[in-house]
């Protein structure tokens, strides 16, 4: 089973105890008339684990031809990003100004898929609206949700998830029957995994512990880990000490939320001082973290850098932290209930603001460092890492926006992720636009500066790529106004090329040839390239050179196009920058198409396309397939040209890329489409175009128009 078809579904790391009947019931509901099943229950009751087990069962059974996709929503704080996040997790790329919901509807309308949405409670209204819309538009889609509250949809089948069955120890129980209860079985299993045996002599205390913990799986798993250090009677006694007493001395009744709090409090109380500090501090992370982030963010106040790994290991042994392997590296996560408990301790220690600032500083530095380094042998590694860290980067940007003093920092992070190509490779321009627009809307300084001008230029560039010419033109006008003010402060006249920040030159040059077909834009791009090189920004200089090569090909400068495209390819290959190589190949093939031999362009486009798919790039293939359609038309294979143009349209729809509005691209498509329509009968053109548009085009598998 491919990773795509079981996206986000983790392998089991320990045994699944109990709930076989509920698992079967949910699967039968999903196979029948229930298109939305919600596992509802209190925190720690095991909703996530059951959902994972169901997802694994469906993957193994091959029930859904288009796969099982599990999405964890606990780290998503902004309901406005829900549709965009779901689209991104499904591998769709939102590069346009189209609403992400439209992209999802179009993608899912014919899919036979199970979508598992974990931890919906804090986004219940938004989740209900999204799921309701998708179910109406996608007749084969099934959704399994987990939530502490119902989604309240007409299509919803709610399966209340109760705690595991445990014996009532106030009533005399046969000793031999105690181990048959699921809660006790879970405690025995988890204790045995740690080398702690629960036998006939200790089974009664085990049953009492499960009753005290109300059969809540997370509480039982936490308690099981404590048995390494304390006996069952000792753990029971400590739990009783946590139960508050009424004025008369009687112990107050507990609700299940209080029970989980007790289990977490007991685990916390048995931690050492540094373990407690680290538990609280890691609550600032969103979507997991690596050891380097923990070292950078969590040191200080008694915790040294060399203490971090041993302390992480201690918290793993106590089941506070879970681990997962990704590309041979360990990543750490905490369950949402555990994270919230830590966040409360962090607030009580008055460290929340300090730790969130350290978190911001770390991810701000990571984005800046990776943006400088991306053009090299580690390029794909850095792109994948930035995609993986998007939850933390979003959290850092959100923290910036809480303070007017740090608004520009949010724009800086977004711009560095643009320099790293994260938004193109695996993120979304929608994310970048959201934060850049927020920063731009909140600017209060009346004095233009290099950062404000660069922010405006970057926003304009992203708007160009999204096909939003109105927004692009508005931002470019603001950029020009501030740039004039900036230039006017110097007594000695300076040219734009001498003084404007290089990102502004790059945006202005790109805008010039993509929107206005302006030959003068090539001079501006050359100036941007030279200024970037002078500043040591090698990757940014390469991007300016790449756009110079594209511009020369599109605008009609054959000699410059050949020279520039050869130079960028040689530069990318020397750097070992795989993503950049694919785009340099694209520029070289474009040059052959427009100013050389179109037959030579075909294998270059095809090789570029395969390499893009091989590294997981889902943005680049849109442009490659489009250009292959132009090439087929230039070679007189008009039926294939029509199929490729249809396939490119499908890819644009899937990714949200908008080529329309980019003048040179519009021109080339118009030439190819006009030639195909003239050469083919209308019904043949329509048939070929629709074949390409309706087929799931995957050239990396050897298929395609």
Give the tens place of pLDDT for each residue, 66-82.
Answer: 889 998 888 787 787 78
Q: What is the mean pLDDT of residues 493-518?
A: 79
Tell me if 565 is assigned to some domain. no
Region 483-503 average pLDDT: 67
pLDDT at residue 27, rounded to an integer: 93
Q: Are residues 47 and 187 in the same domain?
A: no
Alpha-carbon span 155 to 131, nearest angstrom:
10
User: 459 is in which domain, residue-wise?
Assistant: 274-513
Mean of per-residue pLDDT scores for the chain: 85
Q: What was the pLDDT predicted at 266?
A: 85
355 band by pLDDT with thresholds 50, 70 and 90:
very high
- DSSP letter at 162 equals P
How far is it, in rounded angstroms, from Cα 413 to Cα 451? 12
State residue 122's pLDDT score.
85
Say yes or no: 508 and 396 in one domain.
yes
Taking alpha carbons only, the member of 230, 259, 270 closest to residue 166 is 259
pLDDT of residue 3: 37
674: tokens are 């006009």
How far apart, in whole angstroms, are the C-alpha atoms of residue 588 and residue 604?
8
Q: What Å distances lie between residue 167 and 41, 175, 204, 227, CA to CA?
A: 20, 11, 10, 20
How far is residue 614's CA from residue 384's CA, in Å, rounded to a whole number? 13
The residue ranking higher by pLDDT, 491 or 375, is 375
- Assess whether pLDDT exceeds 90 at residue 598: yes
CATH of the domain at 79: 3.40.50.300
The verdict on 154 and 184 lying in the same domain is no
| Lowest pLDDT segment from 428-437, 500-509, 535-544 | 428-437
Please, which pLDDT band fits residue 225 given cuts at 50, 70 and 90?
Answer: confident
pLDDT band (50, 70, 90) for residue 5: very low
Q: Considering the domain boundaries, does residue 552 fall inside one?
A: no
Cβ–Cβ under 8 Å, residues 631 and 605? yes
Q: Could you tell me the two tokens for 596?
A: 């050389």
Closest CA relative to residue 307, chosen from 340, 277, 351, 347: 277
3 assigned to some structural domain: no
In contact, 625 and 609? CB cutoff 8 Å: yes
Mark which of 453, 481, 513 sits at the end of a domain. Answer: 513
Residues 83 and 207 occupy one common structural domain? no
CA atoms within 13 A on the CB side of 299: 13
If pLDDT is split at 50, 70 and 90, which confidence band does 444 have? Answer: low
pLDDT bucket at 246, cuts 50 / 70 / 90? very low
Domain contains 529: no
Q: Rounded CA gap, 265 and 338, in Å? A: 10
Establish if 13 belongs to a structural domain: no
pLDDT range class, residue 417, cuts 50, 70, 90? confident
Q: Give the Å distances, CA to CA, from 333 to 283, 388, 534.
A: 10, 13, 42
Q: Is the pLDDT of residue 573 over 60?
A: yes
Q: Is the pLDDT of residue 12 over 80?
A: no
Does residue 322 sit in helix, strand or coil? strand
Per mean pLDDT, which range of 328-342, 595-609, 646-660 is the poorest?
646-660
Mean pLDDT to the nearest integer, 224-249: 76
User: Quick one: average pLDDT of 340-364?
Assistant: 94
The pLDDT assigned to 102 comes to 80
Q: What is the pLDDT of residues 122-181, one digit of tens each?
A: 888 888 998 999 999 989 999 999 998 888 888 889 998 888 888 888 777 788 888 889
Question: For the chain, what percent of residues have pLDDT higher than 90?
Answer: 36
Helix (H, G, I), strand (E, B) or coil at 553: helix
**Per-residue pLDDT averaged across 588-595, rounded?**
96
What pLDDT does 428 receive?
64
Residue 509 in tokens = 């040059």
Q: Is the pLDDT of residue 46 over 50?
A: yes
Which of residues 135, 160, 185 is at a domain's end? 160
Task: Kindly state the average pLDDT of the residues 292-302.
Answer: 90
Assess whether pLDDT exceeds 90 at residue 570.
yes
Q: Are strands 36-40 and 156-160 parallel, antiparallel or unpaired?
A: parallel
User: Any idea what the Cα angle at residue 17 is, between residues 12 and 23, rounded to 5°?
Assistant: 80
Sheet holding 36-40, edge to edge: 68-72, 114-118, 142-147, 36-40, 156-160
Q: 339 or 451, which is more confident?
A: 339
My answer on whether 339 and 439 are in the same domain is yes
At 229 the three-state DSSP class reads coil
Identify the CA nearest to 121 among candidates 48, 35, 58: 48
Does the residue 99 lie in any domain? Answer: yes
Question: What's the pLDDT score for residue 426?
Answer: 56
How many independent structural domains does the chain possess? 4
Quick one: pLDDT band at residue 97, thresholds 50, 70, 90? Answer: low
At 446 the pLDDT is: 55
| Confidence class for position 497, pLDDT limits 50, 70, 90 | low
Calculate ∠ Cα 48-137-467, nearest 5°.
100
DSSP H helices in 403-468: 407-419, 422-425, 429-441, 450-465
Beta bridge partners of 143: 36, 115
Q: Which of 491, 513, 535 is the last residue of a domain?
A: 513
How do residues 305-316 score in pLDDT, each as one tens digit? Answer: 889 999 999 898
pLDDT digits (tens, 9 = 90+) for 524-551: 999 999 999 998 889 999 999 999 999 9
Inform me whether the pLDDT recorded for 2 exceeds 50.
no
The answer to whether residue 487 is domain-embedded is: yes
Asked if residue 353 and residue 208 are part of one domain, the reply reads: no
Give the C-alpha separation, 421 to 95, whole Å.
12
The predicted pLDDT at position 517 comes to 86
Structure token digits, residue 53: 């087990």
Q: Which pLDDT band, with edges at 50, 70 and 90, does 491 fall under? A: very low
In this prediction, residue 347 carries a pLDDT of 94
At 634 the pLDDT is 96
Confidence of residue 694 (pLDDT cuts 50, 70, 90): confident
Considering the domain architecture, whether residues 345 and 486 belong to the same structural domain is answered as yes
pLDDT tens-digit series, residues 269-294 = 888 999 999 999 999 999 889 989 99
Residues 153 and 261 in one domain: no
Q: Are residues 149 and 32 in the same domain?
A: yes
Q: Do the domain assignments include residue 558?
A: no
pTM of the model: 0.76
In this prediction, residue 251 carries a pLDDT of 47
Handedness of CA 58, 60, 65, 66 (dihedral sign): positive
Q: Name which residue leads in pLDDT, 365 or 169.
A: 365
In this predicted structure, what is the pLDDT of residue 604? 95
Q: Residue 250 — very low, low, confident or very high, per pLDDT cuts 50/70/90?
A: very low
Write down the pLDDT at residue 476: 87
- Rounded Cα distance, 457 and 455, in Å: 5
Radius of gyration over every alpha carbon of the chain, rounded to an integer in angstroms: 29
Q: What pLDDT does residue 493 have?
A: 47
Cα(596)–Cα(414) distance, rounded to whole angstroms?
38
Return phi, psi of residue 520, to 5°. Answer: -65, -20
125 and 141 inside one domain: yes
**Together in a domain, 212 and 133:** no
What pLDDT does residue 175 have?
Answer: 82
Q: Do 236 and 326 reside in the same domain of the chain?
A: no
3-state secondary structure of 6: coil
Q: Which pLDDT score is estimated for 281? A: 96
- Residue 81: partners with Cβ closer than 8 Å, 6 or more residues away: 394, 431, 434
């Amino acid at each position: 089973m491919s990773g795509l078809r079981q996206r986000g579904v983790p392998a089991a790391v320990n045994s699944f105890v109990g709930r076989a009947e509920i698992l079967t019931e949910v699967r039968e509901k999903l196979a029948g008339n229930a298109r939305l099943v919600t596992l509802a229950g209190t925190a720690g009751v095991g909703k996530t684990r059951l959902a994972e087990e169901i997802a694994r069962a469906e993957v193994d059974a091959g029930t859904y031809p288009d796969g099982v996709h599990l999405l964890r929503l606990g780290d998503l704080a902004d309901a406005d990003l829900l549709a965009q996040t779901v689209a991104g997790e499904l591998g769709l790329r939102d590069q346009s100004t189209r609403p992400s919901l439209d992209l999802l509807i179009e993608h899912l309308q014919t899919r036979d898929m199970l979508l598992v949405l974990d931890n919906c409670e804090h986004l219940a209204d938004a989740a209900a609206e999204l799921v309701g819309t998708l179910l109406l538009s996608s007749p084969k889609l099934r959704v399994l949700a987990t939530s502490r509250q119902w989604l309240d949809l007409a299509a919803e089948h709610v399966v209340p998830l109760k705690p595991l069955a445990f014996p009532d120890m106030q009533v005399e129980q046969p000793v031999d029957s105690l181990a048959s209860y699921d809660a006790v079985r879970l405690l025995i299993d988890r204790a045995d995994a740690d080398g702690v045996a629960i036998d006939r002599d200790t089974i009664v205390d085990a049953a009492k512990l499960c009753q005290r913990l109300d059969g809540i799986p997370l509480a039982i798993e936490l308690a099981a880990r404590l048995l390494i250090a304390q006996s069952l009677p000792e753990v029971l006694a400590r739990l009783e000490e946590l139960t508050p007493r009424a004025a008369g001395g009687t112990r107050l009744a507990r609700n299940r939320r209080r029970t989980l709090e007790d289990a977490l409090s007991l685990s916390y109380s048995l931690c050492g001082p540094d373990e407690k500090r680290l538990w609280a501090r890691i609550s600032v992370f969103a979507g997991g973290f690596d050891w380097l982030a923990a070292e950078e963010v969590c040191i200080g106040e008694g915790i040294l850098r060399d203490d971090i790994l041993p302390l992480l290991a201690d918290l793993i042994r106590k089941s506070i932290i879970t681990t997962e392997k990704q590309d041979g590296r360990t990543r750490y996560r905490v369950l949402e209930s555990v994270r919230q408990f830590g966040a409360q301790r962090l607030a009580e220690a008055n460290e929340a603001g300090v730790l969130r600032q350290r978190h911001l500083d770390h991810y701000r530095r990571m984005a800046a460092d990776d943006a400088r380094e991306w053009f090299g042998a580690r390029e794909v590694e850095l792109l994948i890492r930035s995609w993986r860290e998007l939850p933390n980067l979003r959290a850092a940007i959100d923290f910036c926006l809480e303070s007017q003093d740090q608004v520009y920092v949010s724009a800086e992070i977004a711009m560095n992720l643009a320099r790293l190509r994260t938004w193109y490779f695996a993120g979304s321009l929608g994310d970048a636009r959201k934060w850049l627009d927020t920063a731009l809307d909140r600017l209060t300084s009346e004095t233009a500066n290099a950062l404000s001008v660069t922010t405006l230029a970057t926003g304009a560039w992203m708007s160009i790529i999204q096909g939003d010419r109105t927004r692009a033109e508005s931002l470019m006008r603001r950029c020009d106004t501030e740039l004039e003010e900036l230039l006017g402060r110097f007594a000695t006249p300076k040219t734009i090329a001498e003084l404007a920040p290089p990102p502004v030159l790059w945006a202005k040059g790109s805008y010039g040839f993509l929107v206005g077909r302006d030959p003068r834009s090539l001079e501006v791009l050359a100036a941007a390239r030279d200024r970037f090189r002078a500043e040591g920004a090698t990757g940014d200089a390469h991007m300016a050179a790449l756009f110079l090569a594209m511009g020369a090909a599109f605008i009609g400068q054959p000699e410059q196009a050949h020279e520039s495209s050869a130079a960028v390819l040689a530069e990318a290959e020397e750097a070992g920058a795989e993503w950049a190589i694919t785009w340099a190949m694209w520029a070289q093939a474009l040059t052959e198409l427009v100013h050389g031999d179109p037959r030579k362009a075909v294998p270059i486009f095809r090789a570029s396309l395969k390499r893009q798919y091989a590294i997981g790039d889902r943005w680049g293939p849109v442009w490659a397939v489009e250009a292959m359609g132009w090439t087929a038309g230039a070679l007189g294979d008009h039926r294939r040209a029509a199929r490729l143009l249809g396939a490119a349209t499908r890819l644009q729809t899937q990714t949200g890329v908008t080529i329309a509005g980019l003048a040179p691209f519009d021109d080339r498509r118009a030439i190819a489409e006009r030639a195909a329509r003239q050469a083919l009968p209308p019904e043949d053109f329509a048939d070929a175009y629709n074949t390409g548009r309706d087929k799931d085009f995957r050239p990396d598998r050897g298929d395609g128009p």
